[in-house]
């Protein structure tokens, strides 16, 4: 089967007028100056272009947009907060952007069923706030939570800092409303925990990166709000010790270990150097750090935290640790963690690898991959950090000091080959949580099981026969 390729299309004034009539003049963006914010992303790695951004306010409007696009074979790119890291939300070929940001209402919040039904343009932070106001927790949490949206989170199947305890975005959803390529609305907005009536269709759209349908609403799972929260920044010698400490933490605190984020010394250096108000969380430097958080809806956890850290010290795993003594103190730890992506920008080019390997293999993977990178490019700065508890490391490479940024970025593919080669040795994944998007589309074809790839293409052709939804992404 041939891969569906994007068809660049110049929109006629008549067609632009018909799209505008759906959302209203006020919500159709055509001024290139205003369009700029939708066609580039924060890192400025991808620069797309578009004649038209549509900002629908309701599901019927999204449906009418898809119907017209399908009839006229006009490619669309769904977009939420535009924080994606693989170019999936960028109109690389002049597609019409459909920004869901206006659709941000809570449709239903049911504390007894522990569900919240909200529209897909809701910013993640607001979803967390709505849940909190109802004395519940929506646990998904990531550095971009102030601007990414529920629709984007589900479409990328985002992971983030709490997946260790609560799972990834897919695990946090019971139902969806999705507009299909031809404009039909799939109403799978069920609040039912148990519903075995045939195929689980809504799961198809989670992690599909806008290639199979446009998510307009979701039923999210809510959880009891934590009453006890203990957060520590911990200095260690090695990832191996960090992994052993995770074992200790789980033995002592079981499911209360909500986050276990690995950070190397170079990240502390970058964050302190570039982050205004970001301070070194510990009195002295260590080769590695873990940001560990324990949470529980019931009991106090301070003794458990003390026990974990004492055992960690006795067993020679922990060099030093600082426990947050106030909400502000805890916030300062997370501010540093959330700033890691931004801290790499002023250091020049960064080549990203959002990879996962079995949790037990992380230390060995880090050793092998770091050695392979330095062999390939002496002076390259390995900046590996992230969700150790999930085996998901952001194995990012910052350019050698003083190197030419463009020349460095020119080695993107070759560097990927080096790192992903090591990932393959461990049976790992080249996309743990950010998706495939535009960035890894071609590589996917080489690493995915051929039958799986075939099925993905068949599904794409069935659900979007005219290839109007995010063409050129994923498959
Ligand atoms: P966008 O960037 O707008 O879109 C992402 C993809 O989803 C695109 O393919 C787009 O077409 C599609 N899409 C968006 N909305 C819809 C919709 N309603 N229907 C169908 N398709 C849609 N990711 C993680 O997983 N874990 C992290 O810890 C993490 N941390 C980050 C930290 C920073 C500082 C930054 C900048 C990014 C981080 N990300 C992380 C990546 C990014 O935030 C996530 O991928 C997020 O889920 C994207 O949401 P968004 O609303 O910005 O989506
Ligand atoms: C994180 O965990 C994000 O901070 C971003 O997934 C990772 O910048 C990156 O590569
Ligand atoms: Zn991450």
Q: List per-residue pLDDT tens for the chain, 475 residues long.
A: 444 557 677 999 999 999 999 999 999 999 999 999 999 988 788 999 999 999 999 999 999 999 999 999 999 999 999 999 999 999 999 999 999 999 999 999 999 999 999 999 999 999 999 999 999 999 999 999 999 999 999 999 999 999 999 999 999 999 999 999 999 999 999 999 899 999 999 999 999 999 999 999 999 999 999 999 999 999 999 999 999 999 999 999 989 999 999 999 999 999 999 999 999 999 999 999 999 999 999 889 999 999 999 999 999 999 999 999 999 999 999 999 999 999 999 999 999 999 999 999 999 999 999 999 999 999 999 999 999 999 999 999 999 999 999 999 999 999 999 999 999 999 999 999 999 999 999 999 999 999 999 999 999 999 999 999 999 999 9
Task: Note the pLDDT of residue 135.
Answer: 97
Per DSSP bridges, beta strands 173-179 and 136-137 are unpaired
Phi, psi of 283, rounded to the nearest 5 degrees: -65, -35
Buried b (16+ CB within 10 A) or exposed e, 404-433: eeeebeebeeebbebbbebbeebebbbbbb
* 470 ligand 1 Cβ < 6 A: yes
What integer pLDDT is reported at residue 216 of this predicted model?
99
352 lines ligand 2 (CB under 6 A): yes
Q: What per-residue confidence (pLDDT) applies to 441?
A: 96
Cβ atoms of residues 363 and 239 within 8 Å: yes
- d(CA 80, CA 150) in angstroms, rounded, equals 8
What pLDDT is recorded for position 1?
Answer: 40
* Ligand lying nearest the CA atom of residue 153: 1
- Name the residue of 38, 83, 211, 339 to mutate for ligand 1: max ligand atoms within 8 A of Cβ: 83
User: Which residues share a beta bridge with 321?
Assistant: 234
Residue nearest to atom 5 of ligand 2 (CA): 341
With the most atoms of ligand 2 within 8 angstroms of its CB, the residue from 263, 354, 390, 415 to mutate is 354
Q: For residue 350, which ligand has an atom nearest its CA?
A: 2
Output the pLDDT for position 223: 98
Q: How far apart are CA 34 and CA 45, in angstroms?
A: 19
Cβ count within 10 A of residue 104: 18
Decide: 81 in ligand 1 pocket, CB within 6 A.
yes
CB 382 less than 6 A from any atom of ligand 1: no
Ligand 2 pocket check for 341: Cβ under 6 Å: yes
Q: How many residues can be counted in the chain?
A: 475
Question: What is the C-alpha separation between 304 and 323, in angstroms, rounded?
Answer: 12
Q: Which atom of ligand 2 is nearest to the CA of 352?
A: 10
Helix axes 362-376, 412-425, angle to 10 degrees: 150
Identify the residue whose C-alpha is closest to ligand 2 atom 2.
386
d(CA 99, CA 105): 15
The overall pTM is greater than 0.95:
yes
CA–centroid distance, 29 to ligand 3, in Å, is 32
55 lines ligand 2 (CB under 6 A): no
pLDDT score of 8: 73
Q: Ligand 3 centre and the CA of 119: distance in Å? A: 24
For residue 110, count other CB atoms closer than 10 A to its CB: 14
Nearest by Cα to 392 from 340, 441, 430, 335: 430
Please tell me the predicted confidence (pLDDT) of residue 9: 79
| Gap between the Cα atoms of 138 and 18, Å rounded | 39
347 to 33, 361, 383, 399: CA distances (angstroms): 28, 29, 11, 7
- Ligand 3 ion local residues (Cβ < 5 A): 386
Q: Are 420 and 382 in contact (CB under 8 A)?
A: no
Cβ of 127 closer than 6 Å to ligand 1, yes or no, is no
**Best mutation site among 341, 353, 389, 434 for ligand 2 pocket (most ligand atoms within 8 Å of CB):** 341
The DSSP code sequence of 404-435 is -HHHHHTTHHHHHHHHHHHHHHTT-BS-SSS-
Q: Which atom of ligand 1 is nearest to the CA of 158?
A: 25
Nearest Cα residue to atom 14 of ligand 1: 152
Residue in 64, 55, 18 with CA at minimum distance from that of residue 34: 55
- 98, 151, 167, 235 from 140: Cα distances, Å: 24, 13, 9, 26
SS3 call for 376 = helix
Pull the structure tokens for residue 275: 């982050």
Nearest by Cα to 171 from 199, 203, 200, 208: 203
């Amino acid at each position: 089967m041939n891969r569906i390729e994007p068809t660049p299309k110049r929109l006629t004034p008549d067609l632009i007028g018909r799209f505008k009539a759906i959302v209203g003049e006020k919500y159709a963006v055509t001024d290139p100056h205003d369009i700029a914010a939708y066609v580039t992303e924060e890192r400025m790695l991808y620069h797309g272009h578009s004649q038209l951004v549509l900002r629908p306010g309701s599901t019927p409007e999204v449906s009418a947009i898809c119907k017209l696009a399908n009839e006229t074979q006009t490619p669309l790119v769904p977009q939420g907060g535009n924080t994606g890291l693989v170019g999936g939300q960028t109109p690389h070929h002049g597609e019409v952007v459909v920004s869901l940001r206006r659709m941000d209402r809570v449709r239903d919040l049911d504390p007894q069923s522990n569900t919240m039904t909200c529209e897909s343009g809701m910013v993640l932070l607001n979803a967390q706030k709505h849940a909190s106001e109802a004395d519940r927790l929506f646990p998904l949490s990531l550095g971009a939570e102030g601007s990414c949206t529920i629709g984007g989170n589900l479409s990328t199947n985002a992971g983030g800092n709490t997946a260790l305890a609560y799972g990834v975005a897919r695990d946090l959803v019971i139902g969806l409303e999705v507009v299909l390529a031809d404009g039909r609305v799939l109403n799978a907005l069920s609040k039912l925990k148990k519903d075995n009536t045939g195929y689980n269709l809504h799961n198809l759209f989670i992690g599909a990166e806008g290639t199979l349908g446009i998510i307009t609403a979701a039923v999210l799972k809510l959880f009891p709000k934590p009453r006890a929260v203990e957060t520590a920044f911990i200095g260690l010698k090695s990832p191996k010790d960090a992994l052993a400490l995770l074992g200790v933490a789980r033995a002592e605190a079981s499911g209360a270990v909500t986050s276990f984020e690995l950070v190397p010394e170079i990240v502390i250096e970058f964050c302190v150097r570039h982050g205004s108000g970001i301070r070194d969380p510990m009195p002295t430097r260590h080769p590695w750090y873990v940001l560990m958080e324990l949470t529980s809806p019931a009991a106090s956890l301070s003794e458990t935290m003390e026990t974990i850290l004492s055992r960690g010290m006795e067993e020679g795993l922990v060099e030093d640790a600082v426990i947050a003594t106030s909400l502000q103190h805890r916030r300062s730890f997370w501010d540093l963690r959330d700033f890691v992506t931004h801290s790499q920008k002023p250091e020049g080019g960064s080549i990203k690898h959002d990879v996962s390997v079995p949790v037990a293999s992380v230390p060995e993977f880090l050793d092998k991959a770091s050695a392979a990178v330095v062999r390939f490019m002496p002076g390259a700065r390995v900046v590996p950090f992230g969700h150790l508890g999930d085996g998901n490391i952001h194995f990012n490479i910052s350019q050698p000091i003083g190197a030419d940024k463009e020349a460095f970025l020119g080695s993107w593919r070759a560097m990927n080959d080096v790192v992903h080669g090591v990932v393959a040795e461990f049976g790992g994944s080249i996309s743990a949580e950010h998706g495939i998007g535009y960035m890894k589309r071609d590589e996917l074809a080489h690493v995915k099981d051929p039958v799986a790839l075939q099925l993905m293409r068949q599904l794409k052709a069935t659900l979007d026969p005219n290839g109007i939804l995010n063409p050129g992404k994923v498959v």
